[in-house]
Amino acid sequence: MTAAAPELLTVSEVMARLKVGRSKVYDLIRTHRLASIKIDGARRIPVGAVRDFIQNQLEEAA
> In terms of Cα–Cα distance, which of 43, 29, 23, 2 is closest to 53?
29
Answer yes or no: are the C-beta atoms of 34 and 20 closer than 8 Å. Answer: no
Give residue 62's pLDDT band: very low, low, confident or very high (50, 70, 90).
confident
pLDDT in tens, 15-58: 999 999 999 999 999 999 999 999 999 999 999 999 999 999 99
Tell me the domains of the chain and their CATH numbers: 8-61 (1.10.1660)
Strands (E), the chain: 8-9, 37-39, 42-46
pLDDT of residue 13: 97
β-strand pairing of 42-46 with 8-9 = antiparallel
